[in-house]
Amino acid sequence: MTNFTADVSKIVVYIGGMAFIVSVITEALKKWTWFDLRVPTALTVILLSLILCPVSLLGLMAYYGVTAEWYMVFASFIAAFVVALVSMDGWERVTELADRLIRK
């Protein structure tokens, strides 16, 4: 049971970290007016997640010397959609709370 708890903790940390990275990159890309007008934010988040999650997972696996199996790569694509969902909904909630708390 201890290994299960440790594995779930690692998955939650990975998804949270990737959601943060995707959110920061998305906000940086939205600062470019021409990009923000042409590409919807939701599409940007999904594409960034689909690119960054497999790349980062394969990079971590190479760093730790673990061989990549097909189901691990498949799981990274599923995790990418979870990361996209957390990034889209999470950032909106953070800005909503910031607008409530910070008076202009």
DSSP states of the chain:
-HHHHHHHHHHHHHHHHHHHHHHHHHHHHHTSHHHHHHS-HHHHHHHHHHHHHHHHHHHHHHHHTPPPPHHHHHHHHHHHHHHHHHHHHHHHHHHHHHHHHS--
Residue 43 has a pLDDT of 92
pLDDT in tens, 21-61: 998 999 899 898 888 889 898 899 999 999 999 999 889 88
What is this structure's pTM? 0.78
Residue 90 has a pLDDT of 73
